[in-house]
Structure 1
């Protein structure tokens, strides 16, 4: 944890935060297309995620690719991120989490795991989550947004939790660690529904347009392998 100057000349601590962005899915419920490339206002969702993380001052970002890696990679390549590929994306989200957590190289205070298909998430939301982590109750190591009593994303946790996850069995990811250590988990209770909105199905796309008045569109000319 570094220190930076306050306006009045004093010092306060600044968390060094890394992020893992999960973008390895097959999009099987959306016709086998990479949902992270859906566009809102002409901007792919994964780019929106990376812009939000950058705007919140996240120090290191790893993007985990898998299915559709060859079409997703050129979209994110201009960003200062580390790209890694899950060699077995069909093994599930836990496997992608572990690949991403292992690829973080910096000396971090906390790690944030984000989805690549949350259309409305912005830098202010990420900043609020990091702020909630800073103010977490004593003895807790994981903070997640809770909206209307339901969990949302992203999730943020200590670098020590990252190390424990990677030291565990291959089936252990953030959710499994949280389940085994409920006393170390605290909700960030908020009414901000941006933490809950993601897209998995055609019905999600229709609901998003109905509720926001904005449509998510596939990029022109998107061709994915059969």
Structure 2
């Protein structure tokens, strides 16, 4: 005589053709339109703006330093660009070197490149690049932070964006801390740096313009 398995009294058998009733979950939350489905996107609260009658609004995404032509944008002084075109009209190597530095900026206006790398990119002799960068130093347009690291003057040209901030207490598995580059804060920081040349600092003052070319320079 074989033993028959005893049927669990908690289970109810449904008649043929009908789905078996599902057991109710204990302490299940009541259905609510404010409850986000598990795994679904989190709804964002709507922003309502009341406009006067006869007015309309246009919503645009804020400009950033990424997603633009070439992946970045720069804040250039139009007055400086005009001055550069006049001042370097007979010094093609210098204006090409300056444009190359402007186009090679990291956020904050720094450039990581050696003179030899710049010469190779511009197909110029290193002597010409060395002379051009020396002239840019004298004018206060470029400051050499370290070997192979240059800083463009933020008063005349600056690439926007964010830069990494050293945070020794930050866990190693988290992304590096960053901050947005602010032009005025960067100018103040560079002015207080004793390693920065006086010509570079003077150019960052609001009343100072790049030195005008002498008659002997054309």
With normalisation by structure 1, the TM-score equals 0.25
Q: Which has the higher contact order (CA 8 A, sep 6+)?
A: 1
Name the structure with the higher strand share.
Answer: 1
With normalisation by structure 2, the TM-score equals 0.25
Name the structure with the higher helix share.
Answer: 1
